Chain A
């Protein structure tokens, strides 16, 4: 335990610069959007007090915005506003609106009727009543709304890293992808602390007495603006090209680190979620992205993979990994799962992915079509000899594979199947497997080597020379370390790859990563 804390501390010290930058970005994002939300929400709240017939519509719309899942809302923003801080701020602003509008509304309505009547009876005008009586008396409630909005924003702002707006989410999502607990905590602890600290500060403001209210009312906007300035909007690219890498790619030896050390590649980089990365490349917000070589969107968005001429990306051959005790319990499982072995190569997998990711066909249909075409499909036996639990990570390819395995098990054995698809990342999937929450899931040799086994650089160099040596190494290690067996590889190699728009790559004459470096160095 002590050692664990030590290493977290070390990690944070080592990454102090990055941590500080992300924290400042996080605070900035939170408060820029909060500022705008106050500027929009307060007048709207006042408006609907005056015109009550509008209150239903306004509160309704703000309420619906609140229910949109944050990642989806960020997704909606991309076609409109591109990537980076703009869509992130707008999305955060939309989340912050409801508490501010609602609390302004209820706060003003909640002012004692006798006090309001006295104000009218003494001959105050509408605006005098608003500024001298209603707003000051509603202030504690309005501050409570701002407080809620702040805490929501600190939380949602972690997702801003997924659309290249920075913030502590970079560590959190990078850490989840990389199975790096220290990295997750280095992002999660500061963001939790921020939430707690801001909540505490605002609760103090909320409880301030009328005597000091005036001072607070003047000091608060100043403080907000100062906090906004923390967000130094990431400098626009100085070179010609902008790269968008996933948080996972950023932290990996076979990712950005390798690109820097082996190729010496220096490119303006922003961190972005793979959910929006391809589209951003297609729409020319990004020029170079870190994708997967079998991704369907490669085909959909007319992207081309740059040749990895110095071999920094290790092979990522997919194969189901199963706990040994499961294989013992269901002896017919191994041959059934191996039915798929060698059946899907890179181009087949890209087409299958294209059908789900771009044509939006259901993974189930794509899986069944494939099995039928390859004469592997059999009708369900409807047996009830125990349940096999299949896991999958949260992207299309894994959904398709999980569906294929589910159909095969139902067709070839008497077992029932339950699927737990969409497990957030390698760490979550692997933990679910070792903790007996699922029985198997499709994993990639490279991921096993780097993210799970966290092999040393020497070993990586040694075993990544070809796909078989990698496979053999992870198979041996998993068996001895975790009692988990790698079954036969399915066939395709879903390795990391750098990709560009086909048209741009052709125009610039870039075919390999070395070409890219040369092009960048010229500038």
Chain B
């Protein structure tokens, strides 16, 4: 879907991005992770030509983006900024309608699509005629997301989209973000410096340092098979939580005991990560949850059983 091929960007003599290559599959969620100044934002901005690469090529759908007119290219790529970048002199409705207007949609189509998105993003329709500065940070960020999604572009670029939000708002938006069906259909590249966020939202992660990709892979691969000490150190902080987030219930499936389905327990899909499953326990006596796989297989497990499976999995990883 998106192919970044040996791309470099020099600012004067400084190599901000140095020969970076990666590919993103259709509907995949790729995270560019790293500290500030590692080149992750520059890499992202080269994909919609906000920054022109010094060397290398970028392909979207097999087409070299350098051969397209930048304005046309950008209208087909959603873009979400850290500080939302909403136009302060436009109402919420006008902000969302910017790209549809550039694409010359008719008014009714734009209005219909706007209403649809407002509902999906849990935004009240009464916000449409007010100005962004009258909204809270979280609401503004949702409007920014709506603006990027309105024309339903297949690709979405997100530059630290939740960086300016407080923790409570952020985890709320994370949950919504994962639940939003619009986003499940999209190929997303997201930049963040927040490891927890990367583990929570990313299918794959490219960990960058000094303009280069140090390691790319699934969260579990980075966590359990780090290529060097840099990766290990980077993931050291709150490691247990990361492990819970990196491991999905499907990974533990074989290690869980076969048990019949029990009614009246909350159910999880096997694709859910362990963190979410553990968080759902309210620690009543004998409490269990149901895990369903491929819609017909169900296992009912307790907290202790999940934790036991987790330790076994970890031991197994360590000895591989």
Spell out A's residues near B (CB within 8 Å): 112, 114-115, 117-125, 128, 133, 136-137, 210-211, 213
Residue B93 is within 8 A (CB to CB) of chain A in the complex: no
Q: Evaluate whether A114 and B99 lie within 8 angstroms (CB atoms) in the complex, with A121-B48, A122-B75 already known.
A: no
Bound-complex Cα distance A123 to B153 (A): 13
In the bound complex, do residue A114 and residue B82 qualify as a contact, i.e. CB atoms below 8 Å apart? yes
In the bound complex, do residue B87 and residue A118 qualify as a contact, i.e. CB atoms below 8 Å apart? yes
Which of A123, A136, A137, A210 has its CB near the most chain B CB atoms (within 10 A)?
Answer: A123
Q: Evaluate whether A123 and B74 lie within 8 angstroms (CB atoms) in the complex, with A114-B82, A114-B84, A210-B131 already known.
A: yes
Interface positions, chain B 98-134, Cβ under 8 Å from A, are: 98-99, 102, 131
In the bound complex, do residue A124 and residue B71 qualify as a contact, i.e. CB atoms below 8 Å apart? yes
Bound-complex Cα distance A115 to B73 (A): 19
In the bound complex, do residue A213 and residue B89 qualify as a contact, i.e. CB atoms below 8 Å apart? yes
Which of B50, B85, B157 has its CB near the most chain A CB atoms (within 10 A)?
Answer: B85
In the bound complex, do residue A123 and residue B89 qualify as a contact, i.e. CB atoms below 8 Å apart? no
Residues of A within 8 A of B131 (CB): 210-211
Q: Which residue of B lies closest to A128 (CB)?
A: B102
Q: Evaluate whether A122 and B74 lie within 8 angstroms (CB atoms) in the complex, with A115-B87, A210-B89, A210-B131 already known.
A: yes
Which of B70, B89, B102 has its CB near the most chain A CB atoms (within 10 A)?
Answer: B89
Bound-complex Cα distance A220 to B87 (A): 23
Report whether over half of chain A's contact residues are helix, strand or loop; otherwise say mixed.
Answer: helix
Query: Could you give, for residues 55-71 of chain B, a 1 whenever the CB lies within 8 Å of some chain A CB and a 0 otherwise?
Result: 00000000000000011
The contact sample of 27 A-B pairs, CB cut-off 8 A, is A112-B85, A115-B85, A117-B85, A118-B79, A118-B84, A118-B85, A118-B87, A120-B74, A121-B48, A121-B74, A121-B79, A121-B81, A121-B85, A122-B74, A122-B99, A122-B147, A123-B71, A123-B75, A123-B76, A123-B99, A124-B98, A136-B89, A210-B88, A210-B89, A210-B90, A210-B131, A213-B89
Residue B318 is within 8 A (CB to CB) of chain A in the complex: no
Bound-complex Cα distance A133 to B71 (A): 16
Q: Which residue of B lies closest to A209 (CB)?
A: B131
Spell out B's residues near A (CB within 8 Å): 48, 50, 70-77, 79, 81-90, 98-99, 102, 131, 147, 157
Bound-complex Cα distance A115 to B50 (A): 13
Residues of A within 8 A of B50 (CB): 117, 120-121
Bound-complex Cα distance A122 to B100 (A): 10
Residues of A within 8 A of B98 (CB): 122, 124
Contact of B102 among A114, A124, A133 (CB under 8 A): A124
Residues of A within 8 A of B157 (CB): 121
Contact of A115 among B74, B75, B86 (CB under 8 A): B86
Min Cβ gap B224→A in Å is: 37
Bound-complex Cα distance A120 to B90 (A): 16
Bound-complex Cα distance A118 to B99 (A): 11
In the bound complex, do residue A137 and residue B102 qualify as a contact, i.e. CB atoms below 8 Å apart? no
Contact of A117 among B71, B73, B81, B89 (CB under 8 A): B81
Residues of B within 8 A of A120 (CB): 50, 74
Q: Evaluate whether A119 and B75 lie within 8 angstroms (CB atoms) in the complex, with A114-B81, A114-B82 already known.
A: no
Give me the 6 closest cross-chain CB pairs, A-B, nearest first.
A118-B85, A123-B75, A123-B74, A121-B79, A210-B89, A114-B85
Which of A118, A119, A124, A136 has its CB near the most chain B CB atoms (within 10 A)?
Answer: A118
Residues of A within 8 A of B83 (CB): 112, 114
Q: Which residue of A lies closest to B83 (CB)?
A: A114
Bound-complex Cα distance A121 to B41 (A): 14
Residues of B within 8 A of A123 (CB): 70-76, 99, 102
Residues of B within 8 A of A125 (CB): 71
Min Cβ gap B102→A in Å is: 5
Contact of B87 among A121, A133, A213 (CB under 8 A): A133
Residues of B within 8 A of A119 (CB): 85, 87
Residues of B within 8 A of A213 (CB): 89
In the bound complex, do residue B102 and residue A122 qualify as a contact, i.e. CB atoms below 8 Å apart? yes
Min Cβ gap B91→A in Å is: 9
Residues of A within 8 A of B84 (CB): 114, 118
